[in-house]
Amino acid sequence: MSLDLMVFANDGPASITDAERLLDLEADGEEWHEPPEDEVDPRVRAFLHDIFASYPPLESLNDDELGSSIWSVTPGPDTRLSTYLCMSFASPPGVVNLIARLARRHGLVLYDPQTKEIHKPH
């Protein structure tokens, strides 16, 4: 199992039901594809840049570093307006708080399916 979060550049899901529908689409691989870089919302790009400054993508790590990464899968933009973050439950304390702070800083909505909470940036 992994610790999953979703980040949205638009108003995000209006309800927990909407958020769960989006997670189901992600799990089924429907309607999700990595868009061309120039089509990704700049807030999503900036968020990913900032989170990678603290927790680099898996592809940039050597074999010895892979075991200590928080990522189960390197996040990338899943749509023009969102990204899905899959992390190990063994991630260090404070990772979710850092992600929440970065999401707020960039004006992004954060959905936590573990707690079923939607965090708006303002």
Query: For residue 11, is pLDDT > 90?
Result: no
| Mean pLDDT within 106-119 | 91
What pLDDT sits at residue 90? Answer: 78
Q: Which amino acid is located at 73 in the chain?
A: V
What pLDDT sits at residue 101? Answer: 96
What's the domain range around 101? 2-119
Could you tell me the CA-to-CA distances from 29 to 22, 37, 121 in Å, in that order?
Answer: 10, 20, 27
What pLDDT sits at residue 89? Answer: 81
What pLDDT sits at residue 51? Answer: 97
For 31-67, the pLDDT digits (tens) are 555 666 778 899 999 999 999 999 999 999 999 999 8
Q: Into how many domains does the chain fold?
A: 1
Give the angle 5-51-92 at the CA atoms, nearest 5°: 70
Q: Which pLDDT band holds residue 81 (cuts at 50, 70, 90)?
A: confident
Is the entire prediction scored with pTM above 0.85?
no
